[in-house]
Amino acid sequence: MFSGRSGQRILLVGQAPGPIEADQSRPFAGRAGRQLMRWMVRAGFANDEDVRARVYMTAMTTCFPGRRPNGTGDRRPAAGEVALCSSWLNSVLELLQPRLILPVGSLALTRFLPHARLDDVVGSAFSVTGRRLDGPSAAPPVLLPLPHPSGQSRWLNEPPRAALLERAVSRLRDLVVWAETG
């Protein structure tokens, strides 16, 4: 599942479509998407439509992985499922050649910064080689990791982590301008 068009310079990569996205055929259409859109508006986008007009959205897998066995949220795609969809994401990266990549959540983070932890990277920008950047002066693409906006995630329940998100939203504002004008 994806939404976007060629020429978009910003790529957002989530984990997998949720059950609502399967019905609406657009990424981040459910509750997590509403939270993500609030973050994007704080970063300078006008609204949901503005985000979707300027940001290409896709995921690590293209199919809903199903619910967790205990019913408490969506199941994280297994490594084999991610591997099956990797050629899709590789093709998107090659065709789009984004200047800014927003890995959303720990699964997407492992694709771009394989050994990083959200606690160590949210709020900072990185080169594709994993070098922390002070500004967007590196050759594109620049990576700006975000936590997953799902209500199932407890990552943002701690104030220090919420502060990291605020730093990321602030960085995003400047990086969007850089990505779209470069």
Name all domains of the chain by residue range, CATH numbers in brackets. 10-181 (3.40.470.10)
List, in sequence order, the alpha helices (H) in 62-126.
Answer: 79-96, 106-112, 118-121
Question: What pLDDT score was predicted for residue 30?
Answer: 76
Strand order through the sheet with 132-133? 55-59, 10-14, 100-103, 142-143, 125-127, 132-133
* Per-residue pLDDT reduced to its tens digit, 35-67: 999 999 999 999 999 999 999 999 887 766 567
The pLDDT of 8-15, averaged and rounded, is 92
* Per-residue pLDDT reduced to its tens digit, 105-142: 998 999 999 999 999 999 999 999 999 998 766 678 99
**How far apart (Å, rounded) are the C-alpha atoms in residues 178 and 180?**
6
Question: What pLDDT score was predicted for residue 8?
Answer: 93
* 109 against 79, higher pLDDT: 109
Question: What pLDDT score was predicted for residue 152?
Answer: 65
* Per-residue pLDDT reduced to its tens digit, 144-167: 999 989 766 778 888 999 999 999
The pLDDT of 19-28, averaged and rounded, is 60
Specify the 3-state DSSP secondary structure of 133.
Answer: strand
Contact 140, 133 (CB under 8 A): no
Given pLDDT bands bounded at 50, 70 and 90, which one contains residue 12? very high
Question: What pLDDT score was predicted for residue 85?
Answer: 76
**How far apart (Å, rounded) are the C-alpha atoms in residues 38 and 137?**
27
**How far apart (Å, rounded) are the C-alpha atoms in residues 100 and 112?**
12
Q: Which residues contact 175 (CB under 8 A, 6 or more apart)?
A: 100, 125, 136, 142, 144
4: left (phi over 0), alpha (psi -120 to 50) or beta: left
Given pLDDT bands bounded at 50, 70 and 90, which one contains residue 75? low
**How far apart (Å, rounded) are the C-alpha atoms in residues 182 and 146?**
22
